[in-house]
Chains A and B, each alone.
Chain A
Amino acid sequence: MRHFFGFIASFFFHCALVAVALFWATGTPVRVNMDRPVYTVDLVSLAPPPPPAPVEKVPAASEVKPVSQPESAAPVEVKGDPEPVKPVVKPEPEKKAKKISPKKDEKKKVVKRKEKPKPEPKPKPKPKPKPKPKPGKTEKQLLAEGLKAAQKKVAAQERRQKRKLADELAALRKNESGVYAHGGQQDGREGGVQGGSGISGSGLSEVYALIVGTAIKKNWRYPSFAGEANIVASVEIVLASDGRILEYKVVAPSGNAVFDNSALQAIKQTEYVERPRTERDRVLVINFNSQELSE
């Protein structure tokens, strides 16, 4: 009888204990969510955020494909930027600049950039675009003329302003020497470059490049005693939209063939990396620095 009582008491005691554990002990508000992605911040190699709209690129020829573009985070970011200045460049924006509000302009630039990784700044297009808009107003000749004059003036001003900005940007860029801002230092780290010379840039692309670089370097084997030498090889990789590595080639050999091969081997072994979010991310340059091995 007492035994039975003991069992019942024990049972209720445990029920109470479990209830307390479930309902009371969980009241603590601070909880760590382990499912969240982990962001690695590299304080040393992370350059200051790149200029919002990188720019130069594509000639006017490539029109607007804003709609077709799969929305990627990068373009949005750029749009969002309250940059008054379109850092870069030149021509294209102008063409439509008049008609369109500055915002759109930015958008177009971004889009274009994505599509065509070729960094060829072409100032030519400017003149063309202008004339187009004007013709529409032929009806009132006088007015049109007046308008044209005014517009020309404005355009000239804008052009001047832009050129100035472009110069500044070019100067800046020189310093950065064309690698993604994120690990952009020559001596190190991975960076993606569009077409080779343009800086491109949003932070997300840098992060993507970092992710890809980290994934590839997991497979990188090279005797770590070489770490003292500080040699760097840059390898350009082309990704398929599903993240498969289609091509890779050494763009800046380190001078040490074995070292270059080890980097290529690492890429070959990796085969797949995280899916690029935008077309622009499909071409990346990864820098392999022997210093990283000793870290």
Chain B
Amino acid sequence: MNLLPDSDIVTLLSGATLAVKLVLLFLACMSLWSWTIIFYKFLSIGVARRKVAQGYDAFVDAHDLTSGLKALGGRDASPLARVGALAVKEFRLLERAEVNRERKRMLAKDTLRRVLKQGISKEMRSLTRNLPFLATCANAAPFIGLFGTVWGIMHSFHSIGQQQSAALATVAPGISEALVATAIGLLVAIPATIFYNYFLGKLNEVESGMVDFAGAFLNRAEREIAWAEKAKAKN
């Protein structure tokens, strides 16, 4: 362990030109924010995935629609509960609507499908929010680092011109600045890329879980509603 303050990185950073320092600062902010998103998404997507899987099983195992919805828990408990609640709310609205009963039956299927779709996309939207920033980091950070590189090398050549010497000592500081900028750019981009892809995979899982749930919900609703309608009709 070398605790001396003249460590390479400090020396490099203090010797860097303003442009390179700004680039590095910018990259540091990007890194901070992208890791914020990574930690946050890691939690939220993981939780959502688990709840979707559990909720789907519970819903399928339930006897009927109502108990299935109850098994999903409260509104805040699971994304599936929110989707189911939306659908139930829409169904209640449809029930109260001043429409002919036959027509209602026809409408119910399409309406429920649309509502479930909207619910899913709403959930997905909230889960994917901020992910584009990761994608941006993954793509832009290397280029921003590259900008620092180019700037550092420009600076080196400038030094060569000024000092009329191509000695390694003249060129080296600029080149090391440049390399640091590139390295940090990659350091930002690599985790962003990896986690962006990881999250995309997980989100696909979540989405397909929710689509499964929507299918199951729709099936069950059609069955039970048809029965209800018929019962109502009989009455």
CB distance from B15 to the nearest CB of A (A): 10
Given contacts A2-B44, A21-B9, A23-B3, contact A34 B36 (CB under 8 A): no
Q: A10-B33, A23-B3, A26-B7 are in contact. Are A34 and B39 (CB under 8 A)?
A: no
39-70 of chain B: CB within 8 A of chain A: 39-41, 43-44
CB-based contact A6/B164 at 8 Å: no
Q: Does A295 contact B (CB under 8 A)?
A: no
Closest to A21 in B: B9
Whether A13 pairs with B35 at a CB distance below 8 angstroms is yes
Q: For the complex, give the distance between the alpha carbons of A3 and B4 in Å.
A: 36
Which of A5, A26, A36, A38 meets B2, CB within 8 Å?
A26
Residues of B with C-beta under 8 A to A6: 35-41, 43
A34 to B7, CA, bound (A): 14
Q: A5-B43, A6-B43 are in contact. Are A24 and B35 (CB under 8 A)?
A: no
- Give complex CA distance A23, B10 in Å: 11
14 contacts between A and B (CB under 8 A): A2-B43, A6-B35, A9-B36, A10-B32, A10-B39, A11-B36, A13-B35, A13-B39, A25-B9, A26-B2, A26-B4, A26-B8, A27-B2, A35-B169
Shortest beta-carbon contacts, A-B, top 10: A6-B40, A10-B35, A26-B7, A6-B39, A10-B36, A9-B39, A7-B36, A26-B2, A34-B169, A6-B36
**Alpha-carbon distance between A12 and B172 when the two chains are bound, in angstroms:** 32
Complex Cα spacing A123 to B2, Å: 64
- What chain A residues lie within 8 Å of B167 (beta carbons)? 38
Does A174 lie at the interface of the complex (its beta carbon under 8 Å from any beta carbon of B)? no
Report the minimal beta-carbon distance from B134 to chain A, rounded to whole angstroms: 12
B173 on the A face (CB < 8 A) = yes
Q: Say yes or no: A9 contacts B9, CB within 8 Å.
A: no
Task: Tell me the bound Cα distance from A7 to B10 in angstroms.
Answer: 25
Contacts from A to B (Cβ < 8 Å): 2-3, 5-7, 9-11, 13-14, 21-27, 31, 34-36, 38, 218
Question: Known contacts being A6-B37, A21-B9, A22-B10, is A11 close to B32, with CB within 8 Å?
Answer: yes
B195 to chain A, nearest CB (A): 12
CA distance A72 to B202 in the complex (A): 75
Count how many pairs of residues, one from A and one from B, have CB atoms less than 8 Å apart in the complex.
68
* Interchain CA distance A96-B190 in the complex, whole Å: 79
**Number of B residues, CB within 8 Å of A:** 28
A58 to chain B, nearest CB (A): 39
Among B1, B43, B164, the residue within 8 A (CB) of A24 is B1
Interface contact A3-B36, CB-CB below 8 Å: yes
A218 nearest in chain B by CB position:
B164
Most buried by A among B3, B8, B34, B36: B36
Per the bound structure, the CA–CA distance linking A94 and B187 in Å amounts to: 74
Q: B40 and A31: CB pair below 8 A?
A: no
Residue of B nearest to A34 (CB): B169
B-chain residues with CB within 8 Å of residue A26 when the two chains form the complex: 2, 4, 7-9
Q: Could you say which residues of chain A place their CB within 8 Å of the CB of B149?
A: none
Inter-chain contacts of A36 with B (CB < 8 A): 169
Contact present for B40 and A2 (CB under 8 Å): yes
In B1-30, the 8 Å CB interface with A consists of: 1-4, 7-10, 28
Given A34-B172, A38-B167, A218-B164, A10 contacting B8 (CB threshold 8 A): no
The reply to whether A10 and B38 form a contact with Cβ atoms under 8 Å apart is: yes
Query: In whole angstroms, how far apart are the Cα atoms of A205 and B41 in the complex?
Result: 70
Q: Are B38 and A22 in contact (CB-based, < 8 A)?
A: no
Complex partner residue of B28 from A14, A24, A38, CB under 8 angstroms = A14
10 further A-B pairs in the complex, CB-CB below 8 A; given A14-B28, A22-B7, A27-B2: A6-B38, A6-B39, A6-B43, A7-B40, A10-B32, A11-B36, A23-B1, A25-B7, A38-B167, A218-B164
